[in-house]
Structure 1
Protein backbone atom coordinates (compact mmCIF):
# COMPACT_ATOMS: atom_id res chain seq x y z
CA UNK A 1 0.00 0.00 0.00
CA UNK A 2 1.09 3.58 -0.57
CA UNK A 3 2.47 5.69 2.25
CA UNK A 4 0.13 7.05 4.89
CA UNK A 5 -2.28 9.81 3.99
CA UNK A 6 -0.88 13.15 5.03
CA UNK A 7 -2.96 14.91 7.68
CA UNK A 8 -3.33 18.61 6.91
CA UNK A 9 -4.90 21.44 8.90
CA UNK A 10 -6.25 23.33 5.89
CA UNK A 11 -6.56 23.27 2.11
CA UNK A 12 -4.32 26.31 1.69
CA UNK A 13 -1.37 24.01 2.41
CA UNK A 14 -1.92 22.08 -0.84
CA UNK A 15 -3.63 24.75 -2.98
CA UNK A 16 -0.80 24.77 -5.52
CA UNK A 17 -1.39 21.08 -6.29
CA UNK A 18 -4.81 21.44 -7.98
CA UNK A 19 -6.89 23.73 -10.20
CA UNK A 20 -10.29 22.07 -9.87
CA UNK A 21 -12.25 20.61 -6.96
CA UNK A 22 -14.90 17.89 -7.03
CA UNK A 23 -16.64 18.50 -3.73
CA UNK A 24 -18.95 16.06 -1.99
CA UNK A 25 -22.11 17.30 -0.24
CA UNK A 26 -23.32 15.17 2.67
CA UNK A 27 -20.75 14.80 5.44
CA UNK A 28 -18.42 17.27 3.74
CA UNK A 29 -20.39 20.49 3.18
CA UNK A 30 -23.34 19.77 5.46
CA UNK A 31 -25.37 17.10 7.24
CA UNK A 32 -28.79 18.28 6.14
CA UNK A 33 -29.31 21.30 8.41
CA UNK A 34 -26.90 24.02 7.25
CA UNK A 35 -23.60 24.29 5.43
CA UNK A 36 -20.82 24.14 8.00
CA UNK A 37 -19.41 27.67 8.57
CA UNK A 38 -15.82 26.50 8.00
CA UNK A 39 -16.87 24.77 4.77
CA UNK A 40 -18.67 27.91 3.56
CA UNK A 41 -15.53 29.94 4.20
CA UNK A 42 -13.42 27.28 2.46
CA UNK A 43 -15.54 27.41 -0.70
CA UNK A 44 -15.17 31.21 -0.79
CA UNK A 45 -11.39 30.97 -0.33
CA UNK A 46 -11.12 28.36 -3.09
CA UNK A 47 -12.90 30.69 -5.51
CA UNK A 48 -10.67 33.59 -4.44
CA UNK A 49 -7.68 31.36 -5.20
CA UNK A 50 -8.99 30.82 -8.74
CA UNK A 51 -10.10 27.23 -8.28
CA UNK A 52 -13.16 25.83 -10.09
CA UNK A 53 -15.59 23.98 -7.84
CA UNK A 54 -18.03 21.32 -8.98
CA UNK A 55 -20.32 19.77 -6.38
CA UNK A 56 -20.22 16.04 -7.12
CA UNK A 57 -22.96 14.20 -5.31
CA UNK A 58 -24.47 10.73 -5.10
CA UNK A 59 -27.87 12.36 -4.75
CA UNK A 60 -30.58 10.63 -6.75
CA UNK A 61 -32.18 14.04 -7.31
CA UNK A 62 -31.29 16.17 -10.33
CA UNK A 63 -28.74 18.99 -10.36
CA UNK A 64 -31.31 21.80 -10.11
CA UNK A 65 -32.93 20.23 -7.08
CA UNK A 66 -29.53 19.92 -5.40
CA UNK A 67 -28.70 23.54 -6.18
CA UNK A 68 -31.94 24.74 -4.65
CA UNK A 69 -31.39 22.63 -1.55
CA UNK A 70 -27.82 23.91 -1.14
CA UNK A 71 -29.12 27.47 -1.39
CA UNK A 72 -31.59 26.85 1.46
CA UNK A 73 -28.69 25.42 3.49
CA UNK A 74 -26.61 28.56 2.95
CA UNK A 75 -24.57 27.95 -0.21
CA UNK A 76 -25.89 30.04 -3.15
CA UNK A 77 -25.32 28.88 -6.77
CA UNK A 78 -22.96 31.77 -7.49
CA UNK A 79 -20.56 30.50 -4.81
CA UNK A 80 -19.43 27.56 -6.99
CA UNK A 81 -19.32 26.45 -10.62
CA UNK A 82 -22.02 23.80 -10.85
CA UNK A 83 -23.58 20.61 -9.51
CA UNK A 84 -23.31 17.14 -10.98
CA UNK A 85 -25.46 14.58 -9.19
CA UNK A 86 -25.80 10.88 -9.91
CA UNK A 87 -29.49 11.64 -10.41
CA UNK A 88 -28.59 14.11 -13.16
CA UNK A 89 -26.29 11.60 -14.89
CA UNK A 90 -29.07 9.00 -14.60
CA UNK A 91 -31.65 11.39 -16.06
CA UNK A 92 -29.40 12.26 -19.00
CA UNK A 93 -28.81 8.55 -19.68
CA UNK A 94 -32.50 7.67 -19.48
CA UNK A 95 -33.39 10.62 -21.71
CA UNK A 96 -30.81 9.81 -24.40
CA UNK A 97 -31.04 5.98 -24.26
CA UNK A 98 -27.78 5.79 -26.20
CA UNK A 99 -25.39 4.02 -23.85
CA UNK A 100 -25.35 1.10 -21.43
CA UNK A 101 -26.94 0.51 -19.03
CA UNK A 102 -29.73 2.90 -20.05
CA UNK A 103 -30.27 1.72 -23.63
CA UNK A 104 -31.21 -1.80 -22.56
CA UNK A 105 -33.87 -0.85 -20.01
CA UNK A 106 -37.58 -1.13 -20.80
CA UNK A 107 -40.11 1.72 -20.95
CA UNK A 108 -41.77 1.26 -17.54
CA UNK A 109 -40.10 1.67 -14.15
CA UNK A 110 -41.12 1.19 -10.54
CA UNK A 111 -39.81 4.38 -8.92
CA UNK A 112 -38.43 4.59 -5.38
CA UNK A 113 -37.47 8.18 -4.52
CA UNK A 114 -37.06 10.61 -1.65
CA UNK A 115 -39.92 13.02 -0.84
CA UNK A 116 -41.94 11.63 -3.76
CA UNK A 117 -39.52 13.32 -6.18
CA UNK A 118 -40.22 12.45 -9.84
CA UNK A 119 -37.71 14.77 -11.51
CA UNK A 120 -35.46 11.81 -12.35
CA UNK A 121 -38.13 10.54 -14.78
CA UNK A 122 -39.76 13.79 -15.93
CA UNK A 123 -39.26 14.27 -19.66
CA UNK A 124 -37.61 10.88 -20.22
CA UNK A 125 -40.68 9.22 -21.75
CA UNK A 126 -40.67 6.58 -19.00
CA UNK A 127 -43.93 5.26 -17.62
CA UNK A 128 -43.99 5.05 -13.81
CA UNK A 129 -45.62 1.74 -12.89
CA UNK A 130 -47.74 1.46 -9.76
CA UNK A 131 -46.45 -2.05 -8.95
CA UNK A 132 -43.37 -4.13 -9.78
CA UNK A 133 -45.64 -6.46 -11.75
CA UNK A 134 -46.17 -3.74 -14.37
CA UNK A 135 -42.55 -2.54 -14.45
CA UNK A 136 -39.59 -3.40 -16.65
CA UNK A 137 -37.07 -2.26 -14.04
CA UNK A 138 -36.79 -0.69 -10.58
CA UNK A 139 -35.44 2.88 -10.50
CA UNK A 140 -33.96 3.66 -7.09
CA UNK A 141 -33.42 7.41 -6.80
CA UNK A 142 -33.62 7.94 -3.05
CA UNK A 143 -35.11 6.85 0.27
CA UNK A 144 -37.10 8.66 2.93
CA UNK A 145 -35.63 8.30 6.41
CA UNK A 146 -38.59 6.26 7.67
CA UNK A 147 -38.29 3.72 4.83
CA UNK A 148 -34.50 3.46 4.80
CA UNK A 149 -34.27 0.09 6.55
CA UNK A 150 -33.85 -2.51 3.75
CA UNK A 151 -35.92 -5.16 5.57
CA UNK A 152 -39.02 -3.01 5.03
CA UNK A 153 -38.67 -3.69 1.29
CA UNK A 154 -38.23 -7.47 1.46
CA UNK A 155 -41.66 -8.45 0.11
CA UNK A 156 -41.67 -5.97 -2.75
CA UNK A 157 -38.07 -6.62 -3.79
CA UNK A 158 -38.46 -10.39 -3.52
CA UNK A 159 -41.26 -10.09 -6.07
CA UNK A 160 -39.11 -7.86 -8.29
CA UNK A 161 -36.20 -10.30 -8.11
CA UNK A 162 -38.50 -13.20 -8.98
CA UNK A 163 -39.49 -11.30 -12.12
CA UNK A 164 -35.77 -10.69 -12.83
CA UNK A 165 -36.25 -6.93 -12.93
CA UNK A 166 -32.94 -5.07 -13.03
CA UNK A 167 -32.54 -2.24 -10.53
CA UNK A 168 -30.99 1.04 -11.65
CA UNK A 169 -29.53 2.64 -8.51
CA UNK A 170 -28.92 6.37 -8.86
CA UNK A 171 -27.34 6.70 -5.41
CA UNK A 172 -24.70 4.09 -4.46
CA UNK A 173 -24.10 5.55 -0.97
CA UNK A 174 -24.34 2.92 1.76
CA UNK A 175 -25.13 5.28 4.63
CA UNK A 176 -26.72 8.71 4.93
CA UNK A 177 -27.41 11.14 7.74
CA UNK A 178 -30.92 10.91 9.17
CA UNK A 179 -32.49 12.72 12.10
CA UNK A 180 -31.20 10.04 14.47
CA UNK A 181 -27.71 9.74 12.95
CA UNK A 182 -26.37 7.45 10.25
CA UNK A 183 -29.02 5.29 8.56
CA UNK A 184 -29.00 3.00 5.47
CA UNK A 185 -28.79 4.83 2.15
CA UNK A 186 -30.01 3.65 -1.29
CA UNK A 187 -26.78 1.73 -1.92
CA UNK A 188 -27.59 -0.46 1.08
CA UNK A 189 -31.04 -1.21 -0.35
CA UNK A 190 -29.40 -2.04 -3.69
CA UNK A 191 -27.03 -4.45 -1.91
CA UNK A 192 -30.07 -6.00 -0.19
CA UNK A 193 -31.67 -6.48 -3.60
CA UNK A 194 -28.52 -8.23 -4.79
CA UNK A 195 -28.72 -10.52 -1.74
CA UNK A 196 -32.23 -11.47 -2.87
CA UNK A 197 -30.89 -12.45 -6.28
CA UNK A 198 -31.60 -9.17 -8.05
CA UNK A 199 -29.30 -7.48 -10.57
CA UNK A 200 -28.23 -3.89 -9.84
CA UNK A 201 -26.82 -1.30 -12.24
CA UNK A 202 -25.13 1.58 -10.42
CA UNK A 203 -24.75 5.24 -11.43
CA UNK A 204 -22.64 7.59 -9.28
CA UNK A 205 -19.44 7.58 -7.28
CA UNK A 206 -17.18 5.53 -7.41
CA UNK A 207 -18.18 4.39 -10.90
CA UNK A 208 -16.17 5.79 -13.87
CA UNK A 209 -19.09 7.44 -15.77
CA UNK A 210 -19.63 9.86 -12.88
CA UNK A 211 -16.03 11.08 -12.92
CA UNK A 212 -15.91 11.17 -16.72
CA UNK A 213 -19.03 13.36 -16.71
CA UNK A 214 -17.38 15.64 -14.15
CA UNK A 215 -14.31 16.07 -16.33
CA UNK A 216 -16.58 16.81 -19.29
CA UNK A 217 -18.34 19.52 -17.30
CA UNK A 218 -14.99 21.03 -16.27
CA UNK A 219 -13.72 21.07 -19.86
CA UNK A 220 -11.40 18.03 -19.71
CA UNK A 221 -8.58 19.27 -17.44
CA UNK A 222 -5.77 16.81 -16.62
CA UNK A 223 -7.07 14.47 -13.92
CA UNK A 224 -3.95 14.98 -11.83
CA UNK A 225 -4.94 18.66 -11.40
CA UNK A 226 -8.34 17.75 -9.96
CA UNK A 227 -8.83 17.28 -6.20
CA UNK A 228 -11.71 15.06 -5.04
CA UNK A 229 -12.86 15.96 -1.51
CA UNK A 230 -15.30 13.70 0.30
CA UNK A 231 -16.03 11.67 3.41
CA UNK A 232 -16.30 8.17 1.88
CA UNK A 233 -13.36 5.89 1.18
CA UNK A 234 -15.67 3.66 -0.89
CA UNK A 235 -17.10 6.39 -3.11
CA UNK A 236 -15.15 9.66 -3.13
CA UNK A 237 -11.65 8.32 -2.57
CA UNK A 238 -11.90 5.05 -4.53
CA UNK A 239 -13.61 6.81 -7.45
CA UNK A 240 -11.16 9.69 -7.51
CA UNK A 241 -8.11 7.44 -7.36
CA UNK A 242 -9.45 5.19 -10.13
CA UNK A 243 -9.88 8.30 -12.28
CA UNK A 244 -6.28 9.37 -11.66
CA UNK A 245 -7.24 12.35 -9.51
CA UNK A 246 -5.95 13.69 -6.19
CA UNK A 247 -8.04 12.80 -3.14
CA UNK A 248 -8.73 14.20 0.33
CA UNK A 249 -10.78 12.42 2.99
CA UNK A 250 -12.94 14.33 5.48
CA UNK A 251 -12.73 12.24 8.65
CA UNK A 252 -15.82 13.59 10.43
CA UNK A 253 -18.31 12.13 7.92
CA UNK A 254 -19.24 8.57 7.01
CA UNK A 255 -16.21 7.07 8.81
CA UNK A 256 -16.54 9.16 11.97
CA UNK A 257 -17.20 6.16 14.21
CA UNK A 258 -13.89 4.63 13.14
CA UNK A 259 -11.80 7.79 12.98
CA UNK A 260 -13.21 10.11 15.67
CA UNK A 261 -11.23 8.59 18.54
CA UNK A 262 -8.05 7.91 16.56
CA UNK A 263 -4.87 9.22 18.15
CA UNK A 264 -3.01 8.71 14.87
CA UNK A 265 -5.45 9.79 12.13
CA UNK A 266 -3.27 8.85 9.11
CA UNK A 267 -2.72 5.35 10.53
CA UNK A 268 -6.43 4.97 11.29
CA UNK A 269 -7.27 6.03 7.72
CA UNK A 270 -4.74 3.54 6.34
CA UNK A 271 -6.33 0.75 8.38
CA UNK A 272 -9.86 1.74 7.32
CA UNK A 273 -8.83 1.99 3.66
CA UNK A 274 -7.31 -1.46 3.60
CA UNK A 275 -5.99 -1.10 0.05
CA UNK A 276 -4.09 1.45 -2.03
CA UNK A 277 -7.12 1.90 -4.31
CA UNK A 278 -9.06 3.42 -1.36
CA UNK A 279 -6.18 5.36 0.20
CA UNK A 280 -6.49 9.18 0.13
CA UNK A 281 -3.54 11.44 -0.55
CA UNK A 282 -4.53 13.75 2.31
CA UNK A 283 -6.94 13.80 5.22
CA UNK A 284 -8.46 16.39 7.53
CA UNK A 285 -11.19 16.28 10.15
CA UNK A 286 -13.51 18.97 8.72
CA UNK A 287 -13.36 20.93 5.46
CA UNK A 288 -11.24 23.96 6.34
CA UNK A 289 -9.21 26.44 4.32
Structure 2
Protein backbone atom coordinates (compact mmCIF):
# COMPACT_ATOMS: atom_id res chain seq x y z
CA UNK A 1 0.00 0.00 0.00
CA UNK A 2 2.06 2.93 -1.28
CA UNK A 3 -0.42 5.73 -1.95
CA UNK A 4 -1.10 8.38 0.67
CA UNK A 5 -4.42 10.10 1.27
CA UNK A 6 -4.03 13.67 0.00
CA UNK A 7 -4.80 16.22 2.71
CA UNK A 8 -7.07 19.01 1.48
CA UNK A 9 -8.40 22.12 3.21
CA UNK A 10 -11.93 21.84 1.82
CA UNK A 11 -14.15 20.17 -0.79
CA UNK A 12 -13.82 23.18 -3.09
CA UNK A 13 -10.29 21.99 -3.88
CA UNK A 14 -11.60 18.81 -5.57
CA UNK A 15 -15.05 19.98 -6.72
CA UNK A 16 -14.26 19.23 -10.36
CA UNK A 17 -13.69 15.55 -9.54
CA UNK A 18 -17.27 14.64 -8.60
CA UNK A 19 -20.93 15.34 -9.41
CA UNK A 20 -22.61 13.57 -6.48
CA UNK A 21 -21.82 13.34 -2.78
CA UNK A 22 -22.75 10.62 -0.31
CA UNK A 23 -22.45 12.34 3.06
CA UNK A 24 -22.19 10.45 6.32
CA UNK A 25 -24.23 11.86 9.18
CA UNK A 26 -22.80 11.23 12.69
CA UNK A 27 -19.21 12.45 13.02
CA UNK A 28 -19.36 14.25 9.67
CA UNK A 29 -22.38 16.56 9.77
CA UNK A 30 -22.94 16.56 13.52
CA UNK A 31 -22.35 14.74 16.81
CA UNK A 32 -25.93 14.80 18.05
CA UNK A 33 -26.21 18.42 19.17
CA UNK A 34 -26.34 20.64 16.08
CA UNK A 35 -25.04 20.47 12.52
CA UNK A 36 -21.55 21.95 12.53
CA UNK A 37 -21.60 25.51 11.10
CA UNK A 38 -18.80 24.71 8.64
CA UNK A 39 -20.70 21.60 7.49
CA UNK A 40 -23.88 23.63 7.01
CA UNK A 41 -21.97 26.10 4.85
CA UNK A 42 -20.33 23.24 2.94
CA UNK A 43 -23.68 21.66 2.06
CA UNK A 44 -24.94 25.03 0.78
CA UNK A 45 -21.78 25.51 -1.32
CA UNK A 46 -22.10 22.01 -2.77
CA UNK A 47 -25.64 22.79 -3.92
CA UNK A 48 -24.49 26.11 -5.39
CA UNK A 49 -21.84 24.18 -7.31
CA UNK A 50 -24.55 21.93 -8.80
CA UNK A 51 -23.69 18.80 -6.84
CA UNK A 52 -26.36 16.31 -5.78
CA UNK A 53 -26.21 15.42 -2.10
CA UNK A 54 -27.50 12.20 -0.57
CA UNK A 55 -27.03 11.63 3.15
CA UNK A 56 -26.02 8.01 3.61
CA UNK A 57 -26.34 6.87 7.19
CA UNK A 58 -25.96 3.64 9.12
CA UNK A 59 -28.83 4.75 11.34
CA UNK A 60 -31.24 1.91 12.04
CA UNK A 61 -34.12 4.40 11.89
CA UNK A 62 -36.13 5.12 8.72
CA UNK A 63 -35.11 7.86 6.30
CA UNK A 64 -38.00 10.12 7.35
CA UNK A 65 -36.94 9.91 11.00
CA UNK A 66 -33.39 10.88 10.09
CA UNK A 67 -34.64 13.76 7.99
CA UNK A 68 -36.71 15.11 10.88
CA UNK A 69 -33.74 14.80 13.21
CA UNK A 70 -31.46 16.63 10.78
CA UNK A 71 -34.03 19.41 10.49
CA UNK A 72 -34.12 19.73 14.28
CA UNK A 73 -30.32 19.95 14.27
CA UNK A 74 -30.34 22.74 11.69
CA UNK A 75 -30.21 21.10 8.25
CA UNK A 76 -33.47 21.65 6.35
CA UNK A 77 -34.70 18.92 3.93
CA UNK A 78 -34.55 21.30 0.98
CA UNK A 79 -30.80 21.80 1.56
CA UNK A 80 -29.98 18.37 0.11
CA UNK A 81 -31.45 15.71 -2.18
CA UNK A 82 -32.45 12.93 0.20
CA UNK A 83 -31.57 10.56 3.02
CA UNK A 84 -30.86 6.87 2.67
CA UNK A 85 -30.45 5.07 5.99
CA UNK A 86 -29.60 1.43 6.60
CA UNK A 87 -32.89 1.30 8.51
CA UNK A 88 -34.70 2.37 5.34
CA UNK A 89 -32.94 -0.28 3.23
CA UNK A 90 -33.75 -2.86 5.91
CA UNK A 91 -37.40 -1.79 6.02
CA UNK A 92 -37.69 -2.12 2.23
CA UNK A 93 -36.19 -5.61 2.40
CA UNK A 94 -38.47 -6.70 5.25
CA UNK A 95 -41.49 -5.22 3.49
CA UNK A 96 -40.92 -6.94 0.14
CA UNK A 97 -39.32 -10.18 1.43
CA UNK A 98 -38.07 -10.64 -2.13
CA UNK A 99 -34.49 -11.71 -1.54
CA UNK A 100 -32.00 -12.99 1.01
CA UNK A 101 -31.49 -12.46 3.86
CA UNK A 102 -34.99 -11.01 4.34
CA UNK A 103 -36.96 -13.77 2.64
CA UNK A 104 -36.17 -16.55 5.11
CA UNK A 105 -36.19 -14.83 8.50
CA UNK A 106 -39.70 -15.67 9.70
CA UNK A 107 -42.30 -13.24 11.02
CA UNK A 108 -41.70 -13.01 14.80
CA UNK A 109 -38.84 -10.68 15.73
CA UNK A 110 -37.23 -9.50 18.93
CA UNK A 111 -36.60 -5.82 18.22
CA UNK A 112 -33.67 -3.91 19.70
CA UNK A 113 -33.95 -0.22 18.82
CA UNK A 114 -33.04 3.25 20.03
CA UNK A 115 -35.64 5.31 21.89
CA UNK A 116 -38.22 2.52 21.49
CA UNK A 117 -38.45 3.25 17.75
CA UNK A 118 -40.65 0.77 15.85
CA UNK A 119 -40.66 2.46 12.45
CA UNK A 120 -38.33 -0.19 11.03
CA UNK A 121 -41.18 -2.75 11.31
CA UNK A 122 -44.21 -0.49 10.67
CA UNK A 123 -46.20 -1.64 7.66
CA UNK A 124 -44.51 -5.05 7.49
CA UNK A 125 -46.00 -8.43 8.38
CA UNK A 126 -43.66 -8.78 11.36
CA UNK A 127 -44.87 -9.41 14.90
CA UNK A 128 -42.64 -7.90 17.57
CA UNK A 129 -42.26 -10.23 20.56
CA UNK A 130 -41.00 -9.30 24.01
CA UNK A 131 -39.12 -12.54 24.71
CA UNK A 132 -36.32 -13.97 22.56
CA UNK A 133 -37.73 -17.45 23.23
CA UNK A 134 -40.71 -16.55 21.04
CA UNK A 135 -38.70 -14.97 18.23
CA UNK A 136 -37.75 -16.26 14.79
CA UNK A 137 -34.95 -13.72 14.57
CA UNK A 138 -33.43 -10.66 16.27
CA UNK A 139 -33.77 -7.30 14.55
CA UNK A 140 -31.05 -4.92 15.75
CA UNK A 141 -31.89 -1.39 14.67
CA UNK A 142 -30.25 0.72 17.37
CA UNK A 143 -29.07 0.88 20.96
CA UNK A 144 -29.81 3.23 23.81
CA UNK A 145 -26.68 4.55 25.51
CA UNK A 146 -27.38 2.67 28.74
CA UNK A 147 -27.70 -0.64 26.86
CA UNK A 148 -24.77 -0.18 24.50
CA UNK A 149 -22.24 -2.32 26.35
CA UNK A 150 -22.32 -5.84 24.81
CA UNK A 151 -21.92 -7.50 28.23
CA UNK A 152 -25.36 -6.10 29.09
CA UNK A 153 -26.76 -8.61 26.57
CA UNK A 154 -24.60 -11.66 27.27
CA UNK A 155 -27.22 -13.81 28.98
CA UNK A 156 -29.97 -13.17 26.45
CA UNK A 157 -27.72 -13.47 23.43
CA UNK A 158 -26.11 -16.67 24.71
CA UNK A 159 -29.60 -18.17 24.87
CA UNK A 160 -30.40 -16.83 21.39
CA UNK A 161 -27.22 -18.30 19.94
CA UNK A 162 -28.04 -21.68 21.48
CA UNK A 163 -31.42 -21.50 19.72
CA UNK A 164 -29.66 -20.54 16.44
CA UNK A 165 -31.64 -17.33 16.13
CA UNK A 166 -30.29 -15.25 13.23
CA UNK A 167 -29.72 -11.55 13.84
CA UNK A 168 -30.42 -8.86 11.23
CA UNK A 169 -28.25 -5.85 12.05
CA UNK A 170 -29.51 -2.62 10.48
CA UNK A 171 -26.61 -0.53 11.79
CA UNK A 172 -23.11 -2.01 11.34
CA UNK A 173 -21.34 0.92 13.04
CA UNK A 174 -18.88 -0.26 15.69
CA UNK A 175 -18.83 2.97 17.71
CA UNK A 176 -21.24 5.86 18.19
CA UNK A 177 -21.24 9.16 20.01
CA UNK A 178 -22.90 8.94 23.41
CA UNK A 179 -23.23 11.53 26.15
CA UNK A 180 -19.86 10.48 27.58
CA UNK A 181 -18.09 10.19 24.21
CA UNK A 182 -17.58 7.19 21.93
CA UNK A 183 -19.46 4.06 23.06
CA UNK A 184 -20.21 0.67 21.43
CA UNK A 185 -22.66 0.87 18.53
CA UNK A 186 -25.00 -1.87 17.19
CA UNK A 187 -22.25 -3.32 14.99
CA UNK A 188 -20.22 -4.06 18.10
CA UNK A 189 -23.16 -5.90 19.65
CA UNK A 190 -23.62 -7.86 16.41
CA UNK A 191 -19.91 -8.81 16.48
CA UNK A 192 -20.35 -9.88 20.10
CA UNK A 193 -23.24 -12.10 19.03
CA UNK A 194 -21.04 -13.65 16.36
CA UNK A 195 -18.40 -14.34 19.03
CA UNK A 196 -21.07 -16.28 20.95
CA UNK A 197 -21.75 -18.40 17.86
CA UNK A 198 -24.69 -16.41 16.51
CA UNK A 199 -25.32 -15.77 12.81
CA UNK A 200 -25.58 -12.11 11.76
CA UNK A 201 -26.77 -10.55 8.50
CA UNK A 202 -25.68 -6.93 8.05
CA UNK A 203 -27.38 -4.10 6.19
CA UNK A 204 -25.63 -0.73 5.77
CA UNK A 205 -22.17 0.61 5.03
CA UNK A 206 -19.79 -0.95 3.96
CA UNK A 207 -22.02 -3.68 2.49
CA UNK A 208 -22.86 -3.55 -1.25
CA UNK A 209 -26.70 -3.31 -0.95
CA UNK A 210 -26.37 0.09 0.74
CA UNK A 211 -24.27 1.55 -2.05
CA UNK A 212 -26.41 -0.10 -4.73
CA UNK A 213 -29.47 1.54 -3.18
CA UNK A 214 -27.65 4.90 -3.17
CA UNK A 215 -26.73 4.51 -6.84
CA UNK A 216 -30.34 3.72 -7.67
CA UNK A 217 -31.63 6.73 -5.72
CA UNK A 218 -29.20 8.98 -7.62
CA UNK A 219 -30.34 7.56 -10.98
CA UNK A 220 -27.35 5.27 -11.63
CA UNK A 221 -24.59 7.81 -12.38
CA UNK A 222 -21.01 6.68 -12.99
CA UNK A 223 -19.60 5.46 -9.67
CA UNK A 224 -16.28 7.23 -10.28
CA UNK A 225 -18.10 10.60 -10.25
CA UNK A 226 -19.46 10.00 -6.74
CA UNK A 227 -17.61 11.16 -3.62
CA UNK A 228 -18.21 9.31 -0.35
CA UNK A 229 -17.47 11.52 2.67
CA UNK A 230 -17.38 9.98 6.14
CA UNK A 231 -15.42 9.50 9.34
CA UNK A 232 -15.07 5.69 9.31
CA UNK A 233 -12.44 3.70 7.43
CA UNK A 234 -14.43 0.54 8.17
CA UNK A 235 -17.75 1.76 6.78
CA UNK A 236 -17.58 4.89 4.63
CA UNK A 237 -14.17 4.44 3.04
CA UNK A 238 -14.20 0.64 2.66
CA UNK A 239 -17.75 0.69 1.27
CA UNK A 240 -17.08 3.55 -1.13
CA UNK A 241 -13.85 1.97 -2.35
CA UNK A 242 -15.56 -1.38 -2.96
CA UNK A 243 -18.28 0.39 -4.97
CA UNK A 244 -15.68 2.10 -7.19
CA UNK A 245 -16.36 5.57 -5.76
CA UNK A 246 -14.08 8.37 -4.63
CA UNK A 247 -13.59 8.64 -0.86
CA UNK A 248 -12.72 11.30 1.70
CA UNK A 249 -12.04 10.68 5.39
CA UNK A 250 -13.08 13.18 8.05
CA UNK A 251 -10.32 12.85 10.63
CA UNK A 252 -12.15 14.39 13.60
CA UNK A 253 -14.73 11.59 13.87
CA UNK A 254 -14.43 7.92 14.75
CA UNK A 255 -10.63 7.87 14.33
CA UNK A 256 -9.91 11.12 16.17
CA UNK A 257 -8.01 9.46 19.02
CA UNK A 258 -5.65 7.81 16.54
CA UNK A 259 -5.17 10.76 14.20
CA UNK A 260 -5.46 13.87 16.40
CA UNK A 261 -1.88 13.91 17.69
CA UNK A 262 -0.15 11.95 14.94
CA UNK A 263 3.27 13.36 14.09
CA UNK A 264 3.06 11.83 10.61
CA UNK A 265 -0.61 11.99 9.56
CA UNK A 266 -0.23 10.14 6.21
CA UNK A 267 1.55 7.28 7.99
CA UNK A 268 -1.08 7.24 10.76
CA UNK A 269 -3.87 6.96 8.19
CA UNK A 270 -2.01 4.18 6.33
CA UNK A 271 -1.56 2.29 9.58
CA UNK A 272 -5.21 2.72 10.59
CA UNK A 273 -6.41 1.71 7.13
CA UNK A 274 -4.22 -1.39 6.98
CA UNK A 275 -5.02 -2.16 3.35
CA UNK A 276 -5.57 -0.22 0.12
CA UNK A 277 -9.24 -1.27 0.24
CA UNK A 278 -9.71 0.99 3.28
CA UNK A 279 -7.44 3.84 2.18
CA UNK A 280 -9.18 7.16 1.43
CA UNK A 281 -8.32 9.21 -1.64
CA UNK A 282 -8.41 12.42 0.41
CA UNK A 283 -8.62 13.50 4.02
CA UNK A 284 -9.46 16.63 5.98
CA UNK A 285 -10.15 17.34 9.63
CA UNK A 286 -13.73 18.63 9.44
CA UNK A 287 -16.33 18.86 6.68
CA UNK A 288 -15.73 22.27 5.09
CA UNK A 289 -15.86 23.88 1.67
1:257-283 CA-to-partner distances (Å, cap 9, x unmatched) read 000001332221111101000000000
Q: C-alpha displacement at 1:2, in angstroms? A: 4.2
Superposition pairs of residues 206-225 of structure 1, within 5 angstroms: 206-225=206-225
If the length of structure 1 is used for normalisation, what is the TM-score? 0.99
Find the counterpart in structure 2 of residue 168 from structure 1.
168
Q: Distance in 2 between matches of 1:246 and 1:235?
A: 14
CA distance in 2, matches of 1:128, 1:256: 38
- Partner residue, 1:112: 112
- The count of corresponding residues between Structure 1 and Structure 2 is 289
List per-residue Cα deviations over 1:31-59 (Å, max 9, x = no partner): 00000000000000000000000000000
Match of 1:53 in 2: 53
- Counterpart residue number, 1:193: 193
CA–CA distance in structure 1, aligned partners of residues 252 and 88 of structure 2: 27
Distance 1:248 1:73 in 2: 23
- TM-score normalized by structure 2? 0.99
CA distance in 2, matches of 1:181, 1:232: 16
1:83 counterpart = 2:83: yes
Runs of 4+ off more than 6 Å: none
Name the CA distance, whole Å, in 1 between partners of 2:24 and 2:266: 21
Residue-by-residue CA offset, 1:180-206 (whole Å, 9 max, x unaligned): 000000000000000111000000000
Residue 282 in structure 1 maps to residue 246 in structure 2: no
> In the alignment, what sits opposite 2:99?
99
Q: Which moved more, 1:124-133 or 1:257-266?
A: 257-266
* Distance in 2 separating the partners of 1:208 and 1:148: 26
Give yes or no for the alignment of 1:247 onto 2:275. no
Q: Could you tell me how far apart the structure 1 residues matched to 2:217 and 2:2 are?
A: 30
C-alpha distance in structure 2 between counterparts of 1:241 and 1:17, whole Å = 15
Decide whether the 8 Å contact of 1:266 with 1:283 is kept in 2: no
Question: Aligned partners of 2:149 and 2:36: how far apart in 1?
Answer: 28
Q: Distance in 2 between matches of 1:215 and 1:155?
A: 40
- C-alpha distance in structure 1 between counterparts of 2:186 and 2:232, whole Å: 15
Q: CA deviation at 1:227?
A: 0.1
**How far apart, in 2, do the equivalents of 1:46 and 1:109 lie?**
41
Aligned match of 2:127: 127
Find the residue that maps to 1:229 and give its secondary structure: strand
Tell me how far apart the structure 2 counterparts of residues 11 and 229 of structure 1 sit (CA, whole Å). 10
Q: Which residue of 2 aligns with 1:265?
A: 265
Give the deviation of 1:151 after TM superposition: 0.1
Unaligned stretches of 5+ residues in structure 2: none
Structure 1 gap segments, 5+ residues each: none
Q: Tell me, yes or no, if the aligned pair for 1:22 and 1:53 is still in contact at 8 Å.
A: yes
RMSD (CA atoms):
0.5
- Partner Cα separation in structure 2 for residue 8 and residue 272 of structure 1: 19
